[in-house]
Structure 1
Amino acid sequence: MERIIFHCDLNSFYASVELLDHPELRHLPVAVCGDPESRHGIILAKNEPAKKFQVKTAETIWQAKRKCPDLVLLPAHHSVYREFSQKINRMYQDYTDLVEPFGIDESWLDVSGTLHLFGGDPVALADEIRRRMRQEFGLTISVGVSFNKIFAKLGSDYKKPDATTWISRDNYQRLVWPLPVTDLLYVGRSAAETLERVGVRTIGDLARFDRERLFRLLGKQGSQLHDYACGLDRSPVAPAGQYTPPKSVGNGNTFAHNLQSREEIQAGIVQLADQVGARLRRHRMKCTGVALQIRDPDFRDISRQKRLEVPTCLGREIAREAMELADGCWNMQKPVRALTVTAIYLIPEDQAAVQQTLFGDQGAEQRERLEKLAHAMDAIRDKYGKGAIGLASAPKEAARERHAPPPGGGREE
């Protein structure tokens, strides 16, 4: 049986939710942002009139204001967005129990086994879901309909706002292959640069490129991207409510003032790593790698990563490895605007316990004591708030998160 997958993408989600309380602003360019009084304030979402001025998500407020001086700025209310997201995903479950959220404003639905209950026409069903969204929530979505998740995602991006796009086996080469290769899910900046060097600029170029050569260029990811471009994605849509562990856990801060010395950079890394460690423990995961990104005042970024000998969920160990990366790639006399520490190559903590014994770790008992201490600190924070206990080495002026965090804070993928 041919699969029928929907990808539902809420249009300008944060801005659209805010405008429910401010209908008088709908015709004006509006953006939801971080604190406009702070340097770290960025655009989190924008409405359609703002898009006409080329206002972009994740750019700074001053950059957006330079493009659109009359831009109306509204503060973010993340608890409200989460509540809407939960209600909307429950609505999707009226059509199938296979509902997999992809971030707060996107979800995949597999309606292969239930489509016959709703008339059998996938485009008509997508349009019905769009109608309900407008009527019940006052919001709009774009829906991609296809035979796999990757093409369904491309479909929801193909035409916005409030549209349905069907990418079928008959039309995908015409619709998908002319698109830039960067439109394909999981093609990041590094992969795109590698593909550009060998003349791969569109998804069609990728599909026609030799698969074995892609493997040599990008490893397993190269083969996987080739399959995606050829419509061979077979990944399932997870059942509603099924827990999917993150592939990475990161935290990034833009500081109120540039960090000016190795001591200040280390303090910032320690603070970030402590938060990353706490979320790893919450997920019962440990990392076997650490990545560090450093941003200078001119918004130039440098990124490094490394593998660890022993898996860890301890902030102090993550900080130590991140600082080693910093020492190896950064001139400590240069100012730092922002830092991001990310735990990568995650494994379940019970698997990590087995791996540790392979190294004959003489400090196993000490690590166990440190992990118990870390869990105790987590419990204190859960009961009395995040500020109830902290690290003495944190920066004197509290750093602020560059992005509004998902539940639990920071970034998880």
Structure 2
Amino acid sequence: MEHQVILHSDMNNFYASVECLDNPKLRGKPMAVTGDPDARHGIVLAKNYEAKKYGITTGEPLWMARQKCPDILFTPPRYERYIQFSQAAHEIYEEYTDQVETFGLDECWLDVTGSTHLFGTGKDMADDIRSRIKKELGITASVGVSFNKIFAKLGSDLKKPDATTVIDHNFQSKIWHLPANMLLYVGKATYAKLLKYGIRTIGDLACADLSFLERLLGKNGVMLWAFANGLDRSPVSYSYSRRIIKTIGNSVTTHRDLLNDTDIKIILYILSESVAERMRNENFYCRSVQISIRDNTLVSYERQGRLPLPSCTSQAIFQKAFELYKGNPPQNPVRSLGVRACNLFVMKYRQLSFLEDAARDQKQEALEHAIDDVRKRYGHYSIQRGIMLMDSRLSHLDPVAEHTIYPEAFLKSQNK
């Protein structure tokens, strides 16, 4: 049986590297790509190696970063630019294989098993890809080479920047001494549980009693034990395969606290319109709606409810979201809100119905399709709900355009 050859390419300090490439004034100086402090998104999204030397970490508040390094330079993110670089990297990867699986904007797995007779060993291809990214894109990448996805990912994390790391079938001597939280999907909470029972390294995890891990962590315990023992057999998706989307959502931290029902309605309408428009673009309907609420003391909770009928309209999503909010009001002013459409399914052609509720929703859907068309031609603010006039600053938000693309890139960084 042919052994798999899997690569994992991780473009180093991706956001920060792109910004330093485009702006020579940032090069060689500690800098970070950050959220907007005036909109209370004041955290570090990415940093360069000069900033890393000061102990600055992804996700920390800007005031803390500035305490560590008073001379640090901050710059806002430019997602459109990052997407351009990500697509250019994909074009390079797809010259070696059609099995390219995205893991955020900056990372990809490649199954190059069938390409070795054309391009040499996995290490040969990894070195070639690194060289091309540096020459053609102007930034660097680290590439892991292994016989499965988990170890390839671990390899790309082991040595940075601009390095190739091979983890072969004699992996025990190379990785079992490493902390268990270097393994993908061992997040902070999981690692804390493992430490309580003396499981500190990947080797400890691999040699732990499987039934104990299952009792401690459930199915994840079995999965992590298999990963530590090199038993991951998950395939790399093909470039053209579409990721199965289970939910579509959006959230926002507002420039001021939301103090009353009118404030809440404005933001819920904005988020519901954003979610519904994205659903309609993909022919999705949802069966349930979820809201997330964080108050100004940073207490968070979520609530979910089922719709009477599947829908893709902002009106139906808003009504359920506001109902969930009123049924579970927070004790303090609200800092951020989120709306998510759940239990999605595709329906390209909808059967007409004479049932009163279904007919009403179909009319609303037709109306919102017309609104989509107007906004595409004349801009998001060309047509607005009357309630938006109650607070023009609060309502001046276009979450479709400003929606953060690939939020999993940030979530991954929190689990590393």
Counterpart amino acid of residue 342 in structure 2:
I
CA distance in 2, matches of 1:22, 1:200: 45
205-214 or 251-260: bigger deviation: 205-214
CA distance in 1, matches of 2:254, 2:272: 15
Distance 1:185 1:147, change over 3 A: same
Note the residue ranges of structure 2 that are not aligned, 5 or more in a row: 412-416
Report the Cα offset of residue 344 of structure 1: 3.3
Report the Cα offset of residue 410 of structure 1: 7.7
Counterpart amino acid of residue 128 in structure 2:
E
CA contact (8 A) 1:255 1:399 kept: no
Counterpart amino acid of residue 51 in structure 2:
A
SS in structure 2 of the partner of residue 347 of structure 1: strand
CA distance in 2, matches of 1:373, 1:398: 21
CA contact (8 A) 2:293 2:334 kept: yes
Q: Deviations over 1:269-307 (max 9, x none)?
A: 222122112112222223344333322334443334455
CA contact (8 A) 1:5 1:108 kept: yes
Q: Percent identity?
A: 42
Report the Cα offset of residue 48 of structure 1: 0.7
SS in structure 2 of the partner of residue 113 of structure 1: helix
Report the Cα offset of residue 253 of structure 1: 0.8
Report the Cα offset of residue 135 of structure 1: 1.7
TM-score by length of 1: 0.83
Q: Indicate the residue corresponding to 2:97 in structure 1.
A: 96
Q: Indicate the residue corresponding to 1:138 in structure 2.
A: 138
Q: Indicate the residue corresponding to 2:360 in structure 1.
A: 366
Report the Cα offset of residue 49 of structure 1: 1.0
Q: Indicate the residue corresponding to 2:344 in structure 1.
A: 346
Q: Deviations over 1:334-372 (max 9, x none)?
A: 112112222334332359x79x99xx9762222222222
Report the Cα offset of residue 70 of structure 1: 1.0
- Counterparts of 1:161-240 in structure 2, within 5 Å, are 161-171=161-171, 174-175=174-175, 178-181=178-181, 183-186=182-185, 203-204=202-203, 207=206, 223-240=222-239
SS in structure 2 of the partner of residue 240 of structure 1: coil
- Counterparts of 1:39-50 in structure 2, within 5 Å, are 39-50=40-51
CA contact (8 A) 1:252 1:340 kept: yes
CA distance in 2, matches of 1:347, 1:189: 33
Counterpart amino acid of residue 251 in structure 1:
N
Report the Cα offset of residue 59 of structure 1: 3.4
CA distance in 1, matches of 2:189, 2:289: 18
1:116 aligns with 2:117: yes
Distance 1:411 1:167, change over 3 A: closer
- Counterparts of 1:9-158 in structure 2, within 5 Å, are 9-119=10-120, 121-158=121-158
Aligned residues: 405
- Counterparts of 1:374-393 in structure 2, within 5 Å, are 374-393=368-387
Q: Deviations over 1:1-22 (max 9, x none)?
A: 1111111111111111111133
CA distance in 1, matches of 2:321, 2:57: 30
1:263 aligns with 2:262: yes
CA contact (8 A) 2:39 2:253 kept: no
CA distance in 2, matches of 1:178, 1:289: 42
SS in structure 1 of the partner of residue 318 of structure 2: helix
Report the Cα offset of residue 47 of structure 1: 0.6
CA distance in 2, matches of 1:328, 1:248: 23
CA distance in 1, matches of 2:170, 2:216: 30
Report the Cα offset of residue 260 of structure 1: 1.4
CA distance in 1, matches of 2:368, 2:215: 42
Q: Indicate the residue corresponding to 2:249 in structure 1.
A: 250
TM-score by length of 2: 0.82
CA distance in 2, matches of 1:187, 1:289: 30
SS in structure 2 of the partner of residue 363 of structure 1: helix
RMSD (Å), alpha carbons: 3.7
CA contact (8 A) 1:250 1:410 kept: no
Report the Cα offset of residue 376 of structure 1: 2.2
